[in-house]
Structure 1
Amino acid sequence: MSRMGDVLAGFHATWEFESDSVLIRYERGIRTPKLFQSLAERRVPLEAIAGVTLTPGKRGTVALRIELRSGADPLLEAAAGQLKDGSDPYRLVLPADKETLAEYYADELRAELTEAGPAEEFLVAAPEVPLQFKAYDGKASFDGETVRFRWFWTGASSAKWKAGDQSFPVGELSGVEWRSPEVFEGHLRLLRPDSADGRPAQADQDPAAVVFGLGYGPVHESLPFAAAVLAAVRKSGPVAAVPAAAPRRDPADIAERIRHLGELHEAGLVTDEEFSVKKAELLAQL
């Protein structure tokens, strides 16, 4: 852009216009959306931008928004259109008296755009790992290579307890399905190329999914997580068919799992045979 380094400050973020990108820095504060605070900043290369709009906002404001090319940003790909305007990280709300200045920058950006079609690869960086969050039925963690689900005995279904804690190397995944916790049946599900027909329809019965609930899996935690996993899956290339080796477990954790398994058995949720088989599996991990 012709005026590299210029900054446009809005209510929850500032945009710095550079020669090859727009650097968005999000403010911290109780009124700033938690997703913005979680992201901290986003650098958007000009080649990732498909268009720019400036529209009237509420209560004497205007909104400057950059529209990204399809496939350019793992965050928006994971969100799949579920983000509300107030949580859109590429929408800058400004006082109406800055409309002329905002229109100037919009025109400057439009003059630099050359691509509008789908991007062949992610052009905006994924959220940094490691990442983790608490879902209703378990804890999800991701270290950049493997996604792990550890079930909570107070929330996980008997089907998940029977399956045990799960580990998914990104090389064995084909994608991520994120359904916002702000809607009914919110969840994060890991997709594998060979599981589309055989996986349970309900996420609470699927060991490859964690379900959200009130206060569990909020957008600002679960969406960056989903985006980071999606980016790692795309980067890993063709799906590998090599099964992951089961990690060794903490003996105290094994003992706790056997105790919970016994509670399920006593409650009639696990048969005698299932109890014996699963207990043997847990002991074999020591």
Structure 2
Amino acid sequence: MGDVLAGFQTVWEFDTDSVLIRFERGIRTPKLLQTLGERRVPFEALSAVELAPGKRGTVVLRAVPRPGADPLMDVADGQLKEAYDPYRLVLPAERETLAEYYAEEIRAALAPDADTPAETHLVTAPAPPMSFKAYDGKASFDGKEVAFRWFWTGASSAKWKVGDQRFRVDELSGVEWCSPESKGSAGSTPKEGAAKNGNGHLRLIERAHEDRPMGRADHDPAAVVFGMGYGMVHQSLPFAAAVLEAVRAGNPGQGAEGAPASAAHTAAHPAARRDPADIAERIRHLGELHIQGLLTDEEFSAKKAELLAEL
């Protein structure tokens, strides 16, 4: 098409087989859209396009992604507010005729199997490395491995018992994201297992345990929980989408020499020395758990030895 359709905070630039959706930077543009910046969406990634009246003299043109085509929308699982939806274009009502023209152009370009789920991701997720602070720990992803490092101020004793966690992409089968802006709590639907001290979480689904019932996220070492100001949508959702894209890509978990990816990464990037003050604080916290009877003598000694070995 080669045309440009500009709306409020969003611009669609049409190509012969795709649309480039660009999000303007500014105080009125939601942070999630500013974080995404722009997204190239092939027409084959869409199942439909809709046009409907908006609020206060506007019309809304919305492209509907096929299930499985966009890792960001898959992991969001219908939890995004309208303003955060990257597939919405809000236009003045007087441009409704023009919007209908482009809607028909997109419909004519849809793939023959547009009404079926996509077999592979067709829209690219934000690229790693990425990290964000949750309520009970820091999550980081380098493209091959997800790491959770617990905060002593927020992590439960269950997480402190098992220590910081690392998960190779090839050990995972999926990602569960519960919006930090949800109203849910522990045991609620549709996202069960949310933590009592946060409204959402990011949970990694391990292949070895995917049939295991999911407990509370604040007790699950494969999850980080969100709280006020921690794990915000514009930080945690792109992170979750990047991990899901890597999982779906079928990472074989092999390094350059055929060794497991985690071993190759360790050889190429030896673990950095930890801050002694941080180690001392962690040992102090473990001692408190030991005194409270939450850690046995053996567990306390083992975890203390692990921390001292990092110095």
**Deviation (angstroms), 1:271:** 3.2
Summarize the Cα distance change of 1:129–1:243 in structure 2 as closer, same or farther, 3 Å threshold.
closer
**Identical residues among aligned pairs (%):** 68
Deviations 1:20-66 (A, max 9, x none): 11000001111111110010001001111111100001111110000
Answering whether residue 62 of structure 2 is matched by residue 65 of structure 1, we say yes
Please give the per-residue CA displacement for 1:227-246, whole angstroms capped at 9, x wherever unaligned. 00000011134689x69568
- Match of 2:202, as an amino acid? L
Determine if the alignment matches structure 1 residue 81 to structure 2 residue 78.
Answer: yes
Q: What TM-score do you get using the length of structure 2 for normalisation?
A: 0.85
> Cα distance, 1:269 vs. partner?
3.4
Q: 1:250 aligns with which of 270, 273, 276?
A: 273
2:227 paired residue number: 213
CA distance in 2, matches of 1:9, 1:268: 62
Aligned to 2:165: 166
SS in 1 for 2:208: coil
Task: Tell me what 2:301 maps to.
Answer: 276
Residue 83 of structure 1, CA deviation: 1.2
Indicate the residue corresponding to 1:151 in structure 2: 150
Task: Measure how far apart 1:125 and its partner are.
Answer: 0.5
Instruction: Write the distance in 1 (CA, Å) between the matches of 2:261 and 2:87.
Output: 39
Report the alpha carbon displacement of residue 195 of structure 1 after superposing the two structures with TM. Answer: 1.4
Which moves more between the two structures, 252-261 or 105-114? 252-261
Amino acid at match of 1:144: G
What is the letter of the counterpart of residue 132 of structure 2? F
Taking only aligned residues, the RMSD between alpha carbons, in angstroms, comes to: 2.0
Alignment of 1:187 with 2:201, yes or no, is yes
Alignment-mate amino acid for residue 187 of structure 1: H
CA gap 1:243/1:203 in 2 versus in 1, 3 angstroms: farther
Using the alignment, how far apart are the partners of 2:134 and 2:154 within structure 1?
9
Structure 1 residues 155 and 272: CA distance shift in structure 2, 3 A: same
Counterpart Cα distance in 2 of 1:112 and 1:278: 59
Mapped to 2, the partners of 1:11 and 1:226 lie a distance apart of: 27
TM-score normalised by structure 1 residue count: 0.92
> Secondary structure at 1:174's aligned position in 2?
strand
Give how far 1:158 is off.
Answer: 0.3
Runs of 4+ deviating beyond 4 Å: 197-200, 237-240, 242-247
Which amino acid is 1:164 matched to? G
Unaligned runs of 5+ in 2: 185-193, 195-199, 255-259
**Corresponding residue for residue 127 of structure 1:** 126
Query: Would you say the 8 A contact 1:78–1:177 is kept in 2?
Result: yes
**Does the aligned pair in 1 maintain the 2:253–2:261 contact within 8 Å?**
no
Query: Matched residue of 1:72: which SS?
Result: coil
SS class of match (1:59): coil
Question: Which of the residues 13, 16, 20 maps onto 1:16?
Answer: 13
1:96 to 2:93 alignment: yes
Residues 86-137 of structure 1: per-residue CA shift (max 9 Å, x gap): 2110011111111111111111111111231111100001111111111110
| 8 A Cα contact 1:187 1:203, kept in partner | yes
CA distance in 2, matches of 1:238, 1:182: 35
Counterpart amino acid of residue 38 in structure 1: T
- Structure 1 Cα separation of the partners of residues 141 and 79 of structure 2: 23
Q: Is the 8 A contact 1:173 1:239 kept in 2?
A: no
Q: For residue 285 of structure 2, what is the aligned residue in structure 1?
A: 260
1:189·1:209 contact (CA, 8 Å) conserved in 2?
yes
The farther-off stretch of 107-116 and 191-200 is: 191-200
Q: Which amino acid aligns with 1:57?
A: G
Residue in structure 2 matched with residue 56 of structure 1 by the alignment: 53
CA distance in 2, matches of 1:264, 1:197: 31
**Cα offset, 1:249, TM superposition:** 5.3
Alpha-carbon deviation of 1:164? Answer: 0.7
